[in-house]
């Protein structure tokens, strides 16, 4: 359990909230992309599980950003109720006025276990497409609420969903680049101290570059992605251009 936000200095609480956002929101986006692929390929049970994981991560994200606490649960019904108490704007993501809508959410909630392990679990393509739309609506609502919470003191939230995703893509690429350097460092640190020092300096430079990424400045994030994205996909090019 995290320390309650009310006991932390405001700047400390906001910094911790940003760390939670940077962890949970990109993870949700990755699961959503995988769910879309699974739906397109006709892997219905896998798609249901991946959509469940997307929604679960979004709820943990919003709870941790707003309260610095999220219960250790995979039950979407429970997580949804907790999140909607803190942010009633989220209620609109899940219509509850029809039997179809309620059935779809129930099947999504069951997907964490049943979609993987139960031969009796069933979900239709129509239900999956409806759930995909609703999870996207949840994602956009979470992005907007988090943007307001994480905006600098005295400033209106200027982040957009697209800019948040753009920033997270660039952060992910630089994390991958730093990971590649760390792996090489582990291999050569005892045999080539000079190269090890150079690599540590490069890793620090990448961290400093990562700290310049902000959803308020999508051009910087796009430039980083354009430069470093091709490098991390090609090992030879990465080390040549590092």
Tell me how far apart the alpha carbons of residues 208 and 200 are, in angstroms, rounded to a whole number.
12
Which among 4, 51, 13 is positioned nearest to 29, based on CA atoms? 51
pLDDT of residue 1: 41
- 56-68 pLDDT, tens digit each: 999 999 999 999 9
Residue showing tokens 């879309």: 36
Instruction: Average the pLDDT over each of 76-85, 97-106, 183-192, 228-237 and give the range with the smallest value.
Output: 183-192
Confidence of residue 194 (pLDDT cuts 50, 70, 90): very high
Tell me how far apart the alpha carbons of residues 161 and 69 are, in angstroms, rounded to a whole number.
23
pLDDT of residue 235: 92
Average pLDDT, rounded, for the chain? 90
Tell me how far apart the alpha carbons of residues 25 and 144 are, in angstroms, rounded to a whole number.
12
Helices (H), the chain: 10-41, 44-67, 76-86, 99-110, 114-117, 125-150, 161-188, 193-210, 218-233, 235-241
């Amino acid at each position: 359990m995290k320390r309650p936000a009310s006991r932390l200095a405001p700047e400390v609480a906001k910094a911790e909230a940003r760390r939670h956002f940077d962890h949970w929101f990109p993870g949700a986006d990755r699961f959503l992309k995988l769910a879309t692929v699974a739906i397109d390929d006709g892997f219905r049970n896998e798609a249901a599980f991946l959509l469940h994981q997307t929604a679960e991560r979004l709820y943990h994200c919003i709870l941790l950003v707003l309260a610095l606490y999220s219960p250790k649960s995979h039950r979407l019904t429970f997580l949804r109720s907790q999140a909607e108490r803190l942010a009633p704007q989220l209620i609109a993501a899940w219509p509850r006025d029809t039997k179809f809508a309620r059935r779809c959410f129930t099947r999504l909630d069951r997907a964490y276990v049943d979609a993987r392990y139960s031969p009796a679990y069933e979900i239709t393509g129509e239900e999956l497409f409806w759930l995909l739309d609703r999870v996207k609506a949840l994602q956009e609502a979470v992005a907007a609420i988090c943007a307001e919470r994480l905006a600098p003191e005295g400033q209106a939230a200027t982040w957009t969903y697209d800019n948040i995703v753009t920033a997270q893509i660039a952060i992910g690429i630089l994390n991958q680049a730093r990971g590649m350097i760390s792996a090489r460092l582990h291999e050569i640190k005892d045999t080539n101290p000079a190269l090890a020092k150079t690599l540590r300096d490069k890793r620090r430079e990448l961290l400093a570059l990562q700290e310049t990424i902000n959803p308020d400045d999508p051009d910087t994030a796009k430039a980083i992605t354009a430069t470093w994205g091709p490098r991390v996909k090609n090992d030879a090019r990465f080390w040549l251009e590092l």
